[in-house]
């Protein structure tokens, strides 16, 4: 049996560098994926090298077409940039951003009366600064929204499930929208704060249902559907709009 081989390359499209993971494995067909961190191309192990290279070029063309038809997708990979006196809209709240230079190597920030002040290391790289700003904004906004989200979790749990749970956390997470741990902690991604309230409610309901069924069985989905009959519309919204939900 042919072995599974995996390698990574970078595609340059419209001045953007997109990481692509190529997986060569025992399979009968070619599969294209595009995730939050990059692309995945799955190829049959018996495919000749020349054909593999052609498939990579086909993937590049597919991705370029994807970007041309979905501006928000391109924006996701470009990454948002922030300057002093920019504003940030999250849900129905608008924050004013103030950026200050500091000789300190650490990044710090605080939020007071709708103004987010970020203390930036003056001599860091643009890439490191952009990453730090994203995580600082996420942490500060999460702290501001936490009471509101915790209240909504309590309301939906009381209405539909009436189950005991422990901590509710809002954290920046690209891999999922939410999770429910074995310790009955509800974890939600701060990216959800950019979604409509009914979509946020769906993710909360999804995680609360795991307090009863820690799986994705038919019994689990029956619990979700009982609480939110149109939950599939919310899933579709997340699949269509995930790229616009980010700091």
Encode the chain (247 residues) as per-residue pLDDT tens digits: 568 899 999 998 877 888 999 999 999 999 998 887 888 999 999 899 999 999 999 999 988 888 877 767 777 777 788 999 999 999 999 999 999 988 777 889 999 999 999 998 877 888 888 888 999 999 999 999 999 999 999 999 999 999 999 999 999 998 899 999 999 999 999 999 999 999 999 999 999 999 999 999 999 999 999 999 999 999 999 988 888 899 9
Of the candidates 184, 152, 193, 190, which has an alpha carbon nearest to the alpha carbon of residue 171?
190
pLDDT at 34: 85
Listed residue (14, 30, 21, 15) closest to 69, CA to CA: 14
| Helices and strands (DSSP H and E) totals, the chain | 6, 11
CA dist 166 and 157 (Å) reads: 12
CATH 3.30.2010.10 fits 87-244, yes or no: yes
194 in Cβ contact with 244 (< 8 Å): yes
CA distance 180 to 163: 13
Instruction: Spell out the domain ranges in the chain.
Output: 5-78, 87-244
pLDDT in the model for residue 1: 53
Confidence at residue 103, expressed as pLDDT on a 0 to 100 scale: 79
Joined tokens for residue 56: 């990579």
Instruction: Return the structure tokens found at 25.
Output: 């494995």
Residue pair 40/21 in contact by the 8 Å Cβ criterion? yes
Strand partners, 168: 186
């Amino acid at each position: 049996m042919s072995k599974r081989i995996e390698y990574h390359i970078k595609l340059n499209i419209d001045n953007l560098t997109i990481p692509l993971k190529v997986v060569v494995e025992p399979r009968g067909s070619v599969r294209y994926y595009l995730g939050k961190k990059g692309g995945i191309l799955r190829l049959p192990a018996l495919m000749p090298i020349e054909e593999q290279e052609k498939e990579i070029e086909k993937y590049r063309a597919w991705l370029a077409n994807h970007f041309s038809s979905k501006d928000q997708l391109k924006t996701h990979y470009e990454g948002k940039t922030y300057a002093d006196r920019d504003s940030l809209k999250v849900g129905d709240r608008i924050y004013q951003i103030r950026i200050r230079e500091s000789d300190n190597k650490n990044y710090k920030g605080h939020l007071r009366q709708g103004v987010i002040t970020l203390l930036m290391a003056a001599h860091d790289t643009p890439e490191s600064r952009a990453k730090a700003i994203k995580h600082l904004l996420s942490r500060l906004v999460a702290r501001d929204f936490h009471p509101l989200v915790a209240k909504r979790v309590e309301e939906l749990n009381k209405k539909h499930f009436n189950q005991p749970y422990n901590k509710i956390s809002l954290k920046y997470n690209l891999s999922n929208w939410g999770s429910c741990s074995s310790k009955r902690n509800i974890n939600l991604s701060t990216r959800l704060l950019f979604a409509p309230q009914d979509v946020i409610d769906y993710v909360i309901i999804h995680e609360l249902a795991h307090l009863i069924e820690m799986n994705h069985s038919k019994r689990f989905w029956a619990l979700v559907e009982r609480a939110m009959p149109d939950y599939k519309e919310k899933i579709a919204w997340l699949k269509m709009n995930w790229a616009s939900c980010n700091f």
